[in-house]
Amino acid sequence: MKPRTVTRTINTILVLIGFMAGHISANAEVVLTKEEQAYLTQKQVIELCVDPDWLPYEGIDEKGKFTGIMSDFYDLWSDKINKPIQLVNTTNWEQSLQFIQDGKCDILASAQDVPSRREWLNVSKPFIFYPLAVATQPDRQFVVKFEQIQHRDFVMVEGYAGVELLRNRYPDINITTVNTSREGLKMVETGTAYGFIDTVPTINYQMLRWGISHLKISNVLELQYAMSVGVSTREPQLLKIFNKAIDDTSEVERQRVLNNWLSIDFQQHNTVLFWQLLVGVSLVLLVLVYRYRQVHHHNRNLRNLNNQLEQISRYDHLTGLANRYALHERFNEEIETSSQTKQIFSLILLDVDFFKTINDDYGHDVGDEVIKQFASLLMSMVRENDMVGRWGGEEFLILCSQTTKNGAFQLADQLRRQVQSYNFPVNQQITASFGLSEYRHGETIGDTIKRADDALYKAKRNGRNQIVMADSD
C-alpha cells in the first residue's frame, strides 16, 4: 500500500472511530453529585413497590416478577444510575401504599401528587401523561362534558389517586371502590355501576384481558394522570437522582419502552464485520464497528417498530378501522379545512341493533365476526376521502368529507338497506340505526358528535332500523 493511501485509510478509520464512539457514549450513566454517588454507594439496593394489577402500566406476573410499561422504565433507569432496583411483592395497591409509609420500600413505580400522601410521599417529575376515561355499557350515550353524568354511580380501584382527584373536583360524585379493575368492569357489565373510571390504556387492556370488550368509552375527562416516581420522604437524595434519570431519558428510549411492552417481536442479528485494514488498530476497530452496527441495526428496527406501533395506536385491532384517536385527528384536519374553504362535512353515527342478543345467543366469537363483516360492508360503500372508524363496541362513525347532511342521508340510507339485506353468519336479520349531524362553523367536534349521538338514540327510541338527522323535529 502506498504511503498516501495508508494515510487516507488511517484518517478514515479515525473519523469512523470518533463517529462511532459518539454513538456509544450516548448511553452513558447519569451524572451525579458526590453526595448522590455516596448515597447510592451506601445503599445496597433500591426497594420498589408496585400496583400488582394495573396493566399495561405495571403489575406482578404469575412468577412474582415486575412487568408492564413501568418495569421497562425501571430497567432503563437502573442502568442509568448503576444501581439495582428490587421488587418488594405486595398483594394489592393499598398494601403497596402502606409499605412505603412503613419504610418497607423506597419508591412506588408510579404515583400522583395528591394532598393525602404528601406527609410520607414525594413525587418526581412526570414522565407519562394519560387522561382518565369512563367505560360504560354500549347503549350509553357519548358525553362531551363529565358534568353531565357526575351524578351517576361510578367505580374505581381503591387507593388510586384518581379517586381523590375526582372527589376534590366533584364533591357530590358517588364513587364505589374495589380491589381490581376486573371487579370494576364487571360491576359496569352487570349494571351495578354506571361507569368504571381509569386511564384509556388501562381500560382497553383490561377489557381485552378479561373478555369484556363489548363495553365502550363514553367520556374522556379533562383530568390527566401524570405518571411520576413516588419516593419516600425518608429518601430525599433518591428523589433528586430519579429526576435526573427522567431528564436523561430520550424520546427514543421512551418509544423503545412502549415497543417492548407491546411485544412487537423482532430479532437482532449481531453481525461482526471484519475490516482488514491495519493490523495495529484492528482489535479496537472491530469492537467499535460491532457496537456501531448494533446501534444502526437497532435504530432501523425501531423505525419499523414505530410504523407498527402507529398502526396499533391508530387502528382497531378487530376490524382494522380507524379508532377514536385516528378519528379525532381527522376531525381536526377536517375542521381546519372547513374554516379555510367554508366547505361543510357531516358525521354518521350508527350501531348494530340488538347486538347484545347476538353475543348472548351465538357467543362472542360469532359476535366479533359480525362486527368484522359489518365493518367491511361499511368500507366497501364509502368514498375514498371519507373515513370509517369503530367508535366503540358495535358503534361506528363515518366522517363524510365535503358533504352536507342531505348527502350523508343518502349514504346512510344505502347503508341501512345493504345491512338489512346482507347475509351475516347468524340465523336472524341484522339491522342498524343511524344518527346524522352536519358540522357547524365554530362549534367543537364534541358538539357535532353529541348531536349525531342524540339523533342516533332518537332513531332507536322510534323503533330502530331508521335514520334520524340531528335537530330534526
Considering the domain architecture, whether residues 385 and 328 belong to the same structural domain is answered as yes
State yes or no: pLDDT of 193 exceeds 70. yes
pLDDT confidence bin for 174, thresholds 50/70/90: very high
Is the separation of the CB atoms in 435 and 449 below 8 Å?
Answer: no
pTM of the model: 0.50
Q: For residue 28, name the pLDDT band (cuts at 50, 70, 90).
A: low
Q: Which of 314, 333, 355 is the last residue of a domain?
A: 314
pLDDT band at 299 (very low <50, low <70, confident <90, very high): low
Predicted confidence band of residue 303 (pLDDT cuts 50, 70, 90): low
Statement: residue 307 has pLDDT above 80 = no
Asked about 394 being catalytic, the answer comes back as yes
What is the H or E stretch that residue 472 is in?
Answer: none
Strand partners, 178: 157
pLDDT of residue 140: 86
93 and 234 fall within a common domain: yes
Instruction: Taking the CA atoms of 65, 68, 70 and 76 in sequence, report the sign of the dihedral they define.
Output: positive
Q: Which residues contact 94 (CB under 8 A, 6 or more apart)?
A: 158, 159, 179
210-224, 286-300, 321-335, 346-360 — which one is most confidently predicted on average? Answer: 346-360
* 451 pLDDT higher than 50: yes
C-alpha cell at 318: 378487530
Task: Choose the most confident range, by mean pLDDT, from 144-158, 217-231, 294-308.
Answer: 144-158
Determine the pLDDT at residue 294. 54
**Span 199-205, mean pLDDT?**
83
Assigned domain for 216 exists:
yes
Classify 251 as helix, strand or coil. helix
What pLDDT score was predicted for residue 297?
55
Q: Is the CB of residue 435 less than 8 Å from the CB of residue 468?
A: yes
pLDDT range class, residue 349, cuts 50, 70, 90: very high
Domain shared by 235 and 119, yes or no: yes
Cell numbers representing residue 237 in the block? 437524595
441 and 338 inside one domain: yes
Average confidence (pLDDT) over 166-195: 93
For residue 416, what is its C-alpha cell?
A: 341501512
pLDDT of residue 432: 97
Rounded Cα–Cα distance for residues 40 and 240 (Å): 12
pLDDT at 281 over 80: no
How far CA 439 is from CA of 335, 363, 458, in Å, comes to 8, 38, 19
β-pairing verdict for 174-178 and 153-157: parallel
Residue 60 lies inside a defined structural domain of this protein? yes
State yes or no: pLDDT of 444 exceeds 80: yes
pLDDT of residue 17: 42
In a shared domain, residues 465 and 364:
yes
- Angle at CA of residue 389, ends 309 and 401, nearest 5°: 115
State the CATH number of the domain containing residue 62. 3.40.190.10
The residue among 220, 172, 227, 193 whose CA lies nearest residue 58 is: 227
Does residue 270 surpass a pLDDT of 50? no
Q: How high does pLDDT run on average in the chain?
A: 82
Residue 341 belongs to domain spanning: 324-469
103/232 same-domain check = yes
Q: What percent of the chain has pLDDT over 70?
A: 82
SS3 content of the chain, % helix, strand, coil (to 5): 50, 20, 30
Q: What confidence score (pLDDT) does residue 255 get?
A: 75
Q: Which of 56-60, 347-351, 442-446, 462-466 has the lowest average pLDDT? A: 442-446
Contacting residues for 410 by C-beta, under 8 A, at least 6 apart? none
Total domains present in the chain: 4
Active-site entry in 47, 334, 394, 438 = 394
Q: How far is CA 53 from the centre of its chain?
A: 17
What is the DSSP-derived secondary structure letter of residue 456? H
Find all residues with CB under 8 Å of 162, minimum gap 6, and list them.
Answer: 112, 132, 156, 197, 198, 223, 225
Do residue 400 and residue 454 come from a single domain? yes
- The answer to whether residues 81 and 41 touch, using CB atoms and an 8 Å cutoff, is no
Residue found by looking up cell 365502550 in the block: 216
Residues near 453 by beta carbon (within 8 Å), at least 6 away in sequence = 141, 142, 349, 435
Q: Is residue 319 part of a domain?
A: no
- The pLDDT value recorded for residue 203 is 87
List the grid coordinates of 360: 348472548
Q: Give the model's pLDDT for residue 212.
A: 84
User: Per mean pLDDT, which range of 10-14, 135-139, 275-279, 335-339 is the poorest?
Assistant: 275-279
pLDDT band, very low/low/confident/very high, at 209 (cuts 50, 70, 90): confident
pLDDT surpassing 70 at residue 280:
no
